[in-house]
Structure 1
């Protein structure tokens, strides 16, 4: 097996960098380094020191916005405007972690509620959970690293981070920044390794918390192999259904849905994929949605005007092309797109009414493809939206609050956006899938809480 990984530009496949993979036998030392650091409480970082390090890291990142933006473009292919937005989000994420450090606190537990509990004072305190092992996805190489690395550091946990091998450069840059900001050695170790070595890492009994962002197949498999006592948070994909009622505001809705559908070429776990449109406005919706989609600028992600760039590699472009071809053969109508612009760029594509059995209908597309389905009975649309195993974020467009609340109540999703696209997210809100889409909740403060555990202290005194 090759002991290096070649990082290639998704846009033109040019070699960006070649990095060395660690051997599986090196995992032992990496885990032991982290565990030894955690076991010696004299080495734990006090809150003020974590705040100083992270504040300085945010300042360094802010001074390197363009550098980090083009680094993310080079490895991930996300267009300039969106990569820059990711860098700005990542900086905000570090600041959010700093703000939440002061909120890692316990609470008093009432005593004297029974005679047996007289003369006692009880309260909880928060402690870091232990060594964190984190595996990340390719699609947001800097922001995801912040969500898994910075949260662990802020919670007081040594973290071992495995980035996606397609996009490791942004996390390596973040590691350099954290070191420059004063993070002591051992609190962050980044590993580039094979799947076998990664499995050895996360299933080790010395790992107290496993954070995973990526495919459901891999995530659920690794969860099944975790050691007893290892807690975890898994974030997988979804199909992001949208229900559009006849009173929806087209002027607001169309730009939102186009952005939510084709942002990062649809390579987002909550990207708009299935749009159920009231039959009375379906023709008009298709017309306006198609017009807006066709105005998107597709091409070189380094150009500031580009809206849609490449898929992460040619294999993914092959897969998307096959799924679209299958859907059309099954009876779907191709409204626009459906062809490749290059080896890795696929046109923003709209399909009308593909069968529910087609892959584009029943699996996560993770590409620039959106399916539109007409409906006459709202509950039937909701039933179809809920029929898949994946349930993450969803949306409804209507000006009728009664209809909106009815849909929110009935849709199986962790979050439902009203008059906004499914990919809306800010990093201080809870974010995660349910059912086969994941377990646990992300978001900066939520992840930090997941990486701590409570300890109860009870004091007995005759003077209490």
Structure 2
């Protein structure tokens, strides 16, 4: 049976099959198909023609609430689907489904209070008796492009805000992991959303480039690599382009956080969130800065914590680290590790395995010019550097073309505020790893980490424009 894709709210199949295989052992999970040329045109044309901006708030909110509830009902099924197509250990896949449930619930809440603001204009004599109603209205249909690493919740962060503001959307999921998005389509089809207002289309990157250029899709929301994201923005400079790209997230162990218990806690958290999902998260811990006086002790603790992580079959509830998405990804990470070792780095643990499997790896003495230090490794690798001061650590965090999130292990409020003022990142996570994300908070980065913000309400702002209504002759 071929899993259908969704065109203007209806199931369809195309002539070109798309096999989805499990990254771990390569077994066939399911077969869907690439969207046909005619179906793609139908999807874009109906999104362009759809009048969803006037859809009552209760209809949008009820649809979002329904999706949230159905995701919760199908949670275990969807978690195992994520694991099947992505290779993510099922324990982390369950967390992803839980977050998607929250993302749609938050969007339903925001849809109900998306009302606009009143602004009195009689602050100047020439505007006496005038009042402005400032509402935010949809910029138009949204093209959402999502990556493989969170095939449900990153889709949710495109779809839920679009529905909340009344924007039609065309979603292109990653070709390696389309099944979670297509399952979401089954749930969307149960709602009262206008049929022409949404489509979910597996397709190639070449076809996606044509969708990016299509003037009927004035908003592009892309999550993926920096190189592709900025190329999209350069290609369509007159469109609204929202980019959530990635980084090489850093954690700083501060001088006040060097007691034995604190170091052990920091090492445990960093080990887990450098390696979860095989490091295939844009906020996985990649770089760590530790006071030189406690460097050796910390490295020993980190290696012990990393070696204790359960690796293996991602369908096993005990497994914490599974395979990478494909052999090419694993080979690239191995190559970057080899380059670092050739340049003088020291391997503390890991760097073994075959195929898509790579053991969690800890490196020290890594030159700052090595790719595992300066670029986004997107694999189960962490680099640890000694520093002689907090300011040296913060400078190390900023010595990067990325600026997504940073983690700061400290209990000192002044240190937290100093880092927050100093660091060029989208968020500083105090007392924990940079991998923390709440789905309602603004999420995104600076520099090569992107432009615009996710997080439901923040995304709703990015998908809309201010529209002002000025009332005259009003007694205030």
Query: Structure 2 length normalisation: TM-score?
Result: 0.93
Establish whether residue 151 from structure 1 lines up as the match of residue 161 from structure 2.
Answer: yes
Cα distance in 1, alignment partners of residues 188 and 251 from structure 2: 40
Select the residue among 436, 441, 445 that pairs with 2:448.
436
Q: Is the contact between residue 101 and residue 155 of structure 1 (CA under 8 Å) also seen in structure 2?
A: yes
Establish whether residue 256 from structure 1 lines up as the match of residue 269 from structure 2.
Answer: yes
Establish whether residue 35 from structure 1 lines up as the match of residue 44 from structure 2.
Answer: no
Q: What pairs up with 1:192-203 in 2 under 5 angstroms?
A: 192-203=202-213
Establish whether residue 172 from structure 1 lines up as the match of residue 185 from structure 2.
Answer: no
Change (3 A) 1:246 1:462: closer
Higher mean alpha-carbon deviation, 14-23 vs 299-308, is at: 14-23
Select the residue among 223, 226, 242 that pairs with 1:233.
242
Equivalent residue for 1:299? Answer: 312
Q: Is the contact between residue 138 and residue 464 of structure 2 (CA under 8 Å) also seen in structure 1?
A: yes
Cα distance in 1, alignment partners of residues 252 and 330 from structure 2: 28
Cα distance in 1, alignment partners of residues 385 and 101 from structure 2: 39
Equivalent residue for 1:427? Answer: 439
Match of 1:102, SS state, is helix
Equivalent residue for 1:348? Answer: 360
Q: Is the contact between residue 402 and residue 449 of structure 2 (CA under 8 Å) also seen in structure 1?
A: yes
Cα distance in 2, alignment partners of residues 381 and 250 from structure 1: 16
Establish whether residue 417 from structure 1 lines up as the match of residue 429 from structure 2.
Answer: yes
The alpha-carbon deviation at position 127 of structure 1 amounts to 1.8
Equivalent residue for 1:331? Answer: 344
Q: Is the contact between residue 272 and residue 309 of structure 2 (CA under 8 Å) also seen in structure 1?
A: no
Deviation per CA, 1:407-452, whole angstroms, max 9, x where unpaired?
Answer: 3322221111111001001101110011111000111121122222
Equivalent residue for 1:357? Answer: 369
Cα distance in 2, alignment partners of residues 194 and 83 from structure 1: 25
Match of 1:421, SS state, is coil
Unpaired runs of at least 5, structure 2: 1-14
Cα distance in 1, alignment partners of residues 473 and 455 from structure 2: 41
Match of 1:87, SS state, is helix
Cα distance in 2, alignment partners of residues 462 and 110 from structure 1: 10
Q: Is the contact between residue 272 and residue 306 of structure 2 (CA under 8 Å) also seen in structure 1?
A: no
Establish whether residue 217 from structure 1 lines up as the match of residue 230 from structure 2.
Answer: no
Change (3 A) 1:54 1:286: same
Equivalent residue for 1:135? Answer: 145
Q: What pairs up with 1:243-322 in 2 under 5 angstroms?
A: 243-248=252-257, 249-322=262-335
Match of 2:256, SS state, is coil
Q: Is the contact between residue 135 and residue 467 of structure 2 (CA under 8 Å) also seen in structure 1?
A: yes
Give the root-mean-square deviation of aligned CA atoms.
1.7
Cα distance in 2, alignment partners of residues 312 and 107 from structure 1: 45
Cα distance in 2, alignment partners of residues 55 and 242 from structure 1: 36
Cα distance in 1, alignment partners of residues 237 and 445 from structure 2: 23
Unpaired runs of at least 5, structure 1: none
Cα distance in 2, alignment partners of residues 64 and 26 from structure 1: 28
Cα distance in 1, alignment partners of residues 71 and 82 from structure 2: 13
The alpha-carbon deviation at position 26 of structure 1 amounts to 4.7
The alpha-carbon deviation at position 27 of structure 1 amounts to 3.4
Change (3 A) 1:279 1:36: same
Q: Is the contact between residue 58 and residue 112 of structure 2 (CA under 8 Å) also seen in structure 1?
A: no
Cα distance in 2, alignment partners of residues 285 and 172 from structure 1: 44
Q: Is the contact between residue 210 and residue 232 of structure 1 (CA under 8 Å) also seen in structure 2?
A: yes
Select the residue among 395, 407, 410 that pairs with 2:407.
395
Cα distance in 1, alignment partners of residues 236 and 61 from structure 2: 32
Match of 1:394, SS state, is strand
The alpha-carbon deviation at position 129 of structure 1 amounts to 2.0
Match of 1:92, SS state, is helix
